[in-house]
Amino acid sequence: MNISCNIIKDLLPSYMDKICSDESRRAVDEHILTCQACKAYMETMKKELTAEEAEPKQLQYMKKVKRHYQLNIFAIGIFLFICAVGTAIIITRIGRIPIRMYNLILPVFIIAAYVFLPKDSFTQKKTKQSAVFTILSLFVTAATISLLPQSLNWINSGSAPFNMPIEKLGPFMAECLAAFAIAQTAILIISVIQKYRDYQINRAIYAFTLTGISISLAFITMLYHMTTPENYARNVSASLLSLFAEGIAAAVVIDLISRKLSNRSHR
pLDDT digit string, tens, across residues 195-236: 877 788 888 888 889 899 888 888 888 887 776 777 777 777
Three-point CA angle 250, 82, 65, nearest 5°: 80
Are 104 and 46 spatial neighbours (Cβ–Cβ below 8 Å)? no
pLDDT at 266 exceeding the cut of 60:
no
> What's 117's DSSP letter?
S
Q: Judge whether residue 140 has pLDDT over 90.
A: yes
Question: SS3 of 199, please?
Answer: strand
Looking at the DSSP assignment, which residues form a beta bridge with residue 199?
A: 125
Q: Which of the two residues, 92 and 204, has the higher pLDDT score?
A: 204
The domain segmentation of the chain, as residue ranges, is 93-265
The continuous run of DSSP H or E covering 15 comes out as helix 5-16
Angle at 171 between CA 165 and CA 174, to 5 degrees: 140
Looking at per-residue pLDDT, the higher value among 50 and 168 belongs to 168
User: Is residue 50 pLDDT above 80, yes or no?
Assistant: no
Please report which residue ranges of 17-128 form alpha helices under DSSP H.
Answer: 22-34, 36-92, 101-116
- Residue 265 is predicted with a pLDDT of 53
- Mean pLDDT (the chain, rounded): 77
- Sign, CA dihedral 24-30-35-41, equals positive
Distances (CA, A) of 174 to 147, 181, 218: 11, 10, 11
∠ CA(77), CA(83), CA(87), 5° rounding? 150
Torsions phi, psi of 198, nearest 5? 70, 30
| Band of pLDDT at residue 121, cut at 50, 70 and 90 | low
Identify the top-confidence range among 26-30, 49-53, 91-95: 26-30
Q: What are the residues whose beta carbons fall under 8 Å from the beta carbon of 240, sequence distance 6 or more?
A: 145, 148, 215, 218, 219
